[in-house]
Structure 1
Amino acid sequence: MPRKPNTHLTAEEILQAAKKLLINNGYEGLSMRKLAAKLDCQAPSIYYYYENKNAIIEKLIEEGFGILIEIDQKTAAKPITPLERIEEFCRNYIDFAFDNPGYYYVMYSLKLNSVDLKEKIYEQERILGGVLIETVKEGIDDGSVKVQNPLLLITYCWCVLHGLITTMAKGRIDSRFETDTIKETVLNVLFNSYQIQSINDVNH
């Protein structure tokens, strides 16, 4: 590791600045030089903490998924029904996205050119999916969830929620509707839909 420069810069400040650059400029728009300019420091101050920009993005991926996994693990441990837990998982996801827009962007919207970073995301998604799948299996076993493929249901929920989050974040909601009204309507339709037998017709 390089010798620490004479600076008060912290690793957290670097991550916060990196999230902003990634949201505004994408993967190709992040560089150590641009980070240094944004933080008003010399590049060696950043290299002390992170070897390159991929190391920064990897850290953001780990931290973001770590927060969401911890939240969902707490939900999974609650003595409530599988359907109630699935509903809470969905609400956790929405809350996480709006409480942590930088992490959410890196985890689910950033176009990556690095195979290693893509694999890092897949690795974290498998950990998160493991938490969710156990609850879905419980719902299948007790007959409350009609979709017989847990991964199919999780993927379906993610598609709906990611679409909702993206639409809300970009301000594309029709002004005639309150944002909360749209959110609750979408969630209610989602919660009811995976108990409908027709979804089970999808090949599993």
Structure 2
Amino acid sequence: MPKILTDDDIADFRAELCRVATERFAKYGYDGVTMRQLADELGCSPKTPYRYFQDKADILATVRAAAFGRFADALEAAAASSADPAERSSRVGRAYIDFALANPAAYRIMFDLNVPESMNHAELRRESARARQFITRQAEDLSRAGLIEADPQVVGWSMWAAVHGLVVLKLAGLLREGPDFDVLHKTMMRLIVEGARTKHAPVSERRKPAAEQAPMKN
């Protein structure tokens, strides 16, 4: 007679399946993981995972949603820890890095996988949106406080691109011969903020070089 699973049994199996899936997706990519491999890792029948998830894409969307949720929790806690815009921005940036370095598999499945479109997954859509709002929020706060003059959307995305690139280099082991990681991070952020203290005109409004200007009429 089959064992009757309790709610705790179901939750425990789902959690273990998600843990294994997170590690394998991060290591092998979406196409390098199969449902059979996940079942073998868990020591269960190949059909068992289908009792808990629709398919491989559903598993990936679920583990990505969980990763984004934990990531957003970390950023929200950092943002709530200070009322000063500059200090808050610094703490959110530090929380971003701390999460990424402490959870490399989760970070990779959030940002570094070529995955099928899965934003119709309600939980993933909600949690990723919650995390993404921090991309520009800190720069918007700096702008309102008069600490930067440049477009806060552009500044926010520039900060995100810079930190993401730094994290990826660190996780790939490519910074061993470079400057100290924290020094590099602080210098990078300082350069962005200092550059953002000047309001830059959109490219279309900038004066063209003399060689590109229309010739003057006699």
Matched residues, number: 197
Q: How many angstroms apart in 1 are the aligned matches of 2:130 and 2:199?
A: 25
Per-residue deviation, 1:198: 7.1
Match of 2:81 in 1: 78
Q: How many angstroms apart in 2 are the aligned matches of 1:59 and 1:82?
A: 33
After superposition, residues 166-185 of structure 1 pair within 5 angstroms as 166-175=168-177, 177=178, 181-185=180-184
% same residue? 20
Per-residue deviation, 1:127: 2.3
Per-residue deviation, 1:78: 2.8
Per-residue deviation, 1:69: 1.1
Q: How many angstroms apart in 2 are the aligned matches of 1:199 and 1:40?
A: 59
Match of 2:192 in 1: 193
Alignment deviations for residues 109-166 of structure 1 (CA, whole Å, 9 cap, x no partner): 0111x222498766544322334544432321221123323x2222111111111111
Corresponding position: 1:161 with 2:163: yes
After superposition, residues 1-204 of structure 1 pair within 5 angstroms as 10-112=13-115, 114-117=116-119, 124-131=127-134, 133-149=136-152, 151-175=153-177, 177=178, 181-197=180-196, 200-201=199-200, 203=202
Q: How many angstroms apart in 2 are the aligned matches of 1:124 and 1:78?
A: 21
Where structure 2 has 5 or more consecutive residues not aligned to the other structure, the ranges are 204-218
Q: How many angstroms apart in 2 are the aligned matches of 1:40 and 1:199?
A: 59
Per-residue deviation, 1:188: 2.8
User: Are the equivalent residues in 2 in contact too, given 1:147–1:195 (CA < 8 A)?
Assistant: no
Q: How many angstroms apart in 2 are the aligned matches of 1:12 and 1:119?
A: 18
Q: How many angstroms apart in 2 are the aligned matches of 1:170 and 1:144?
A: 34
Q: How many angstroms apart in 2 are the aligned matches of 1:79 and 1:90?
A: 13
User: Are the equivalent residues in 1 in contact too, given 2:20–2:41 (CA < 8 A)?
Assistant: yes
User: Are the equivalent residues in 2 in contact too, given 1:4–1:45 (CA < 8 A)?
Assistant: no
Per-residue deviation, 1:45: 2.2
Per-residue deviation, 1:23: 2.0
User: Are the equivalent residues in 2 in contact too, given 1:72–1:131 (CA < 8 A)?
Assistant: yes
The residue type equivalent to 2:75 in the other structure is D
The residue type equivalent to 1:35 in the other structure is L
Deviates more, 1:119-128 or 1:21-30: 119-128
User: Are the equivalent residues in 2 in contact too, given 1:94–1:165 (CA < 8 A)?
Assistant: yes
Q: How many angstroms apart in 1 are the aligned matches of 2:81 and 2:186?
A: 21
The residue type equivalent to 2:181 in the other structure is I
Q: What is the alpha-carbon root mean square deviation over aligned residues?
A: 2.9
Q: How many angstroms apart in 1 are the aligned matches of 2:36 and 2:184?
A: 45
Where structure 1 has 5 or more consecutive residues not aligned to the other structure, the ranges are none
Closer/same/farther in 2, CA of residues 63 and 189 from structure 1, 3 Å limit: same
Alignment deviations for residues 22-59 of structure 1 (CA, whole Å, 9 cap, x no partner): 12211111221111122221123212221111111111
3-state DSSP of counterpart to 2:118: helix
Q: How many angstroms apart in 1 are the aligned matches of 2:196 and 2:21?
A: 45
The residue type equivalent to 2:87 in the other structure is E
TM-score, normalized by length of structure 2?
0.77
